[in-house]
């Protein structure tokens, strides 16, 4: 096959993350090609470099730390690595797109969904549509979601925390410590100094996952010096202060939100544990979807023996909700 038939070609690509603490060799000499109309899947364990490769292709590596050290990326005859940013903007989101795992980097929380769809139409307006035509498309999107807006039932806490969530996102991005006053479910107020790790959404609420910066406090946890983050409902954060103090995170020790989410139920933190149970309900697929780490060990006479790795006591709440369909194996 000639090179002209290849839509994408990556040759000997190497990428590093360089900080004051370490140099991480994230991608090492990758070579691949993709024909027009073809599908290519990249499979690898956490930390193998899949996301870094995609970010490099999109020219979205972190400016301060990410660096291409060798190789080339040729897309439709142009070297993406060396393209001016103005040219890259015409490709990014139009010819090459990426769906991010983290919702905080996918959608802007201060804009409506309709406004963000309209923005994409404005930027990638190759069809020559007028501003009025794009505005009409935006209005159609607004009508589609209007029914949901009319039937929306406000949550009981009735708290406005959009600006607070935005500030937390900036602290995560810039690796700033934060101080919060947090109102627990029993109404007790706790003050914490935290290293924010991620913002997550689950079961109607937004949550902050963060590491507590207090050795004495950590030693008194149910799991002493628990290496995993604690969880806070953002609407219960009474006050938030972003500190001038920064923390550093080694690339090899970075928080893997996706792996954490697979193992946490109802956003209950706690000890990492393995549970085994028998399931005799109508749909084993629903169980495997609810518990992404679950594996079927045995299936006999309509009864499944399942093993899963989970955090904390949230799994107990889930098991109670299954009634007679689930029997825990001690």
* pTM as predicted: 0.66
Please answer whether residues 181 and 190 qualify as being in contact, where contact means their C-beta atoms are separated by less than 8 angstroms. Answer: yes
Provide the greatest CA pair distance for the chain: 69
* 161-166 contacts, C-beta under 8 A, 24 or more apart: 161/206, 161/234, 161/235, 161/237, 162/109, 162/110, 164/234, 164/237, 164/240, 165/109, 165/199, 165/206, 165/234, 166/109, 166/110
CATH code given to domain 3-98? 3.40.50.300
pLDDT at 225: 57
**Partner residues linked to 305 by β-bridges:** 278, 298
Residue 245 pLDDT > 90: yes
**Confidence band, pLDDT 50/70/90 cuts, at residue 218:** low
Compute the Cα dihedral for 259, 265, 271, 273 and give only its sign. Answer: negative
Residue 157 above 60 pLDDT?
A: yes
Contact between 177 and 149 (Cβ < 8 Å): no
Is the CB of residue 328 less than 8 Å from the CB of residue 277? yes
Which pLDDT score is estimated for 75? 93
pLDDT digit string, tens, across residues 74-130:
999 899 988 998 888 888 877 888 887 665 556 766 677 777 777 777 776 666 667
Stated length of the chain: 330
- Whole-number Å distance between alpha carbons of 195 and 19: 18
Minimal CA–CA distance to 172: which of 111, 107, 102?
Answer: 102
> Which residue has 């140099």 as its token pair?
23
CB–CB of 279/297 below 8 Å? Answer: no
Q: What is the pLDDT of residues 252-284, one digit of tens each?
A: 677 777 778 788 877 887 788 899 999 998 889
> Helices 131-150 and 113-123 meet at what angle, rounded to 10?
160
Tokens found for residue 75 = 């897309």
Q: What is the pLDDT of residues 4-62, one digit of tens each?
A: 578 999 999 999 988 777 888 999 999 999 998 899 999 888 778 898 999 999 998 88
308 touches 262 (CB < 8 A): no
- Report the C-alpha gap between 266 and 263 in whole angstroms: 10
Q: Break the chain into its structural domains and give their ranges.
A: 3-98, 104-150, 162-260, 272-328
For tokens 């005859």, the residue is 77
Place of tokens 């970010």: 55
- In this prediction, residue 1 has a pLDDT band, given cuts at 50, 70 and 90, of very low
C-alpha span between 22 and 134 (Å, rounded)? 47
At residue 287, φ and ψ (nearest 5 deg) are -70, -45
Q: How far apart are CA 206 and CA 161, in angstroms?
A: 10
The edge-to-edge listing of strands for the beta sheet with 23-35 is 23-35, 6-18, 66-75, 78-79
Helix/strand/coil for 247: coil
Output the pLDDT for position 27.
Answer: 93
77 in helix, strand or coil?
coil
Asked whether 164 and 237 are in contact (CB, 8 A), the reply is yes
């Amino acid at each position: 096959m000639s090179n002209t038939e290849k839509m994408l070609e990556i040759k000997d690509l190497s990428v590093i993350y360089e900080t004051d603490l370490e140099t991480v060799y994230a991608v090492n000499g990758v070579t691949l090609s993709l024909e027009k109309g073809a599908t290519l899947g990249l499979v690898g364990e956490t930390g193998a470099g899949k996301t870094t490769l995609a970010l490099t292709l999109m020219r979205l590596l972190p400016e301060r730390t990410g660096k291409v050290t060798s190789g080339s990326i040729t897309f439709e005859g142009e070297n993406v690595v060396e393209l001016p940013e103005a040219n890259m903007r015409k490709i990014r989101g139009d010819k090459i797109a990426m769906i991010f795992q983290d919702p905080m980097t996918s959608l802007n929380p201060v804009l409506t969904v309709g406004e963000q769809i309209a923005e994409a139409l404005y930027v990638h307006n190759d069809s020559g549509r007028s501003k009025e035509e794009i505005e009409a498309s935006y209005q159609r999107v607004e009508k589609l979601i209007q029914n949901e807006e009319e039937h929306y039932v406000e949550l009981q806490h009735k708290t406005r925390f959009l600006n607070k969530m935005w500030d937390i996102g900036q602290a995560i991005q810039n690796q700033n410590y934060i101080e919060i006053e947090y109102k627990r479910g029993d109404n007790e107020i706790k003050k914490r100094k935290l290293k924010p790790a991620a913002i997550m959404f689950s079961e109607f609420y937004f949550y902050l996952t963060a590491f507590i910066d207090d050795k004495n406090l950590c030693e008194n946890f149910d799991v002493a010096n628990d290496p995993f983050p604690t969880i806070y409902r953002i609407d219960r954060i009474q006050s938030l202060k972003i500190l001038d103090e920064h923390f550093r995170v080694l690339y090899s020790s970075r928080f893997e939100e996706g792996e954490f989410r697979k193992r946490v139920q109802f956003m209950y933190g706690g000890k990492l544990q393995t549970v085994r149970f028998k399931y005799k309900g109508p749909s084993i697929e629903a169980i495997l979807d609810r518990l992404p780490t679950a594996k079927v060990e045995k299936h006999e006479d309509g009864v499944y023996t399942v093993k899963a790795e989970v955090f904390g006591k949230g799994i107990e709440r889930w098991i109670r909700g299954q009634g007679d369909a689930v029997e825990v194996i001690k």
